[in-house]
Amino acid sequence: MLGRKHHYAMEQSYYIVESLWDGYRFDYVSIGSTIIEKAIIFYELDVPFLYSLLLGDIEEDGSISAESRSNNGDMIKNLTTVYRTIEQFLNNNPRALVAFQGNTAAKTRLYRIAISKYLDRFLDRYLIWGVRCDNGRHEPFQINQSYRAFFVTIKSLST
C-alpha cells in the first residue's frame, strides 16, 4: 500500500488512505510489526474554519483510540501519511486552520522534529505556528523551540 512521492511531501513512502465523511476522516492500515487499522479525523471546533486533527487506532467496536501507543515500527511512514492527509484536507478546505499535538510529550516532540526536518519545504506552501511550552503563546514555528501544539494553514490565505 505505498503511495507515490509528492514534491511538497516528505520524501518517504506513505499509506494510501480511504477518504470518509466527505473528506473529514481518512482511514488506512499501518503495516509494521503488526497490522493496525488507523484513522485521521479532522473535527471542526467552535471557531469557524479551525479544525483539530485526531490520529488514532480503530478499535474492534469501531471506536477510535487516540491513547494507544502501538510502536508498530513504521513511524516515519505514519508521519508521512498524516502530512499527506493534512495536505489533502487543506487543498479541499483552503480556509481551514488545522491544530494538532501528540497524545504524549514524546509524540509532540516527534512532530516538532519532523516539521523541523522539512520546514524549508513546508514554508513554500504553508504557514506553521507552534504553541510554546514555556508561556503558552503561539508564534511562527522555529526550529529548536519546544512546543505543545501546532497549527498549519495554506500560505495563500495570508499573501
pLDDT in tens, 115-128: 998 888 888 899 99
Q: What's the average model confidence in pLDDT over 46-57?
A: 96
Evaluate whether residue 48 is within a structural domain. yes
**pLDDT tens-digit series, residues 73-106:** 888 899 999 999 999 999 999 999 999 999 889 8
Range of the domain at 77: 18-157
> For the chain, how many structural domains are there in total?
1
Q: Does 119 fall in a domain?
A: yes
Does any domain span residue 10?
A: no
Q: pTM of this prediction? A: 0.85
Residue 88: inside a domain: yes
Residue 2 lies inside a defined structural domain of this protein:
no
Residue with cell 484513522: 39
Per-residue pLDDT at 159 exceeds 60: no
Q: What is the pLDDT of residue 85?
A: 95
Residue 137 lies in a domain: yes
**Within a domain: 33:** yes
| Calpha distance 72→32 (Å, rounded) | 5
Give domain status of residue 4, yes or no: no
b/e sequence 140-152, b meaning 16+ C-beta within 10 Å: ebeeeeebbbbbb
**Higher pLDDT, residue 70 or 35:** 35
